[in-house]
Amino acid sequence: MSKIGFASDHAGFELKEFVKSYVAQKGFSYKDFGAFTIESSDYPDFAHPLAEAVESGEVDLGVALCGSGNGISMTLNKHRGVRAAICWNTDIARVTRAHNDANILVLPARFITSEDAKEIITIFFNTPFEGGRHLRRIEKIPCLSF
């Protein structure tokens, strides 16, 4: 089984706690990089450690949450080895894994239900990367000026 990394800000905290229990029930181990309360917090403080853990292989995949999903996604995608994708339904989750080999699922906590999150996570974790022509495109993602 894979090890999953989690990160959220205050807006994503409650849904993150729900999702952590769901993935634990499915047999996954996890590491939580914060936030650890609903007190106001800054998503970069938790996104960067998650991104570094994905890049280093400390965790296999990540799940990140903030209110809209945008702020934490922008932060995560500053890291060369990260392909974070905001998913608000199962179709997006399926395509982003199959075509983009996303390694961090970003959930917009204020716009989805806990049941939506379970369905999205299930699809994200169970969809393999198709490779082929998609691999060529993924290899072109990193910015050469890094």
- Active-site residues, by number, are 66, 99
Instruction: Decide: 134 and 101 in contact? Cβ < 8 Å.
Output: yes
- Which stretch of DSSP H or E encloses residue 140? none
Residue 143, phi then psi, degrees to nearest 5: -75, 130
d(CA 105, CA 94): 11
| Structure-token pair, residue 122 | 């299930």
